[in-house]
Amino acid sequence: MASYKSILVGLDLSEDTDQVVQRAGELGKAFGADISLAHVIEPLTFAYGGDIPMDLSEVQEQLQSQAKEQLRKCAARLDVPAERQHVVLGQPATELHRLSEELETDLIVIGSHGRHGLALLLGSTANGVLHGAGCDVLAVRVQRNDE
């Protein structure tokens, strides 16, 4: 089994985040690895294609502020210092690849919802991160309460 020294954890900050944080913490402890946390926010202009005739920058700033606070709470559980907490704008898979390279991580940990059917065909962030990563990727199968 590989020995990991630097782990990047990509979090969507959903209700499933705790499961991913727990698994990443276990891995970090087992390998004595440094853990970095990341949350990627897709710019609102991506979602709406610039079709909304209003300035969304204030809303975007609020989203970033809320994400930073949520990420800070996750980081506190794992004793991850502020300099290893990253909230970035962009496309999730692309930004996680970039950040992983920049931080020279040897493992990316992400949550996977195990979608089926149409959602599987359309792809997911987990699938996007897996393909194109320059290091190992662990997709943590998150369990919903209704599963």
pLDDT tens-digit map of 71-127:
999 999 999 999 999 999 999 999 999 999 999 999 999 988 765 554 444 447 888
According to the model, what pLDDT value does residue 49 have?
54
Which range has the top average pLDDT, 51-55, 78-82, 137-141, 142-146?
78-82
Tokens at residue 76, please? 């506190």
pLDDT, mean of residues 123-136: 84
pLDDT, mean of residues 54-71: 86
Decide if pLDDT at 136 tops 70.
yes
CA 83 from centre of chain? 16
Q: Are 41 and 87 in contact (CB under 8 A)?
A: yes
Q: Please name the residues in contact with 128: beta carbons below 8 A apart, sequence gap of 6 or more.
A: 92, 93, 94
* Furthest CA-CA distance within the chain: 53
pLDDT digits (tens, 9 = 90+) for 7-59: 999 999 988 899 999 999 999 999 999 999 999 998 876 555 555 556 667 88
pLDDT greater at residue 3 or residue 105: 105
Tokens at residue 19, please? 């499961």
Domain boundaries, the chain: 6-141
Alpha-carbon distance 2 to 126, whole Å? 21
According to the model, what pLDDT value does residue 115 have?
56
Q: Which fold has domain 6-141?
A: Rossmann fold (3.40.50)
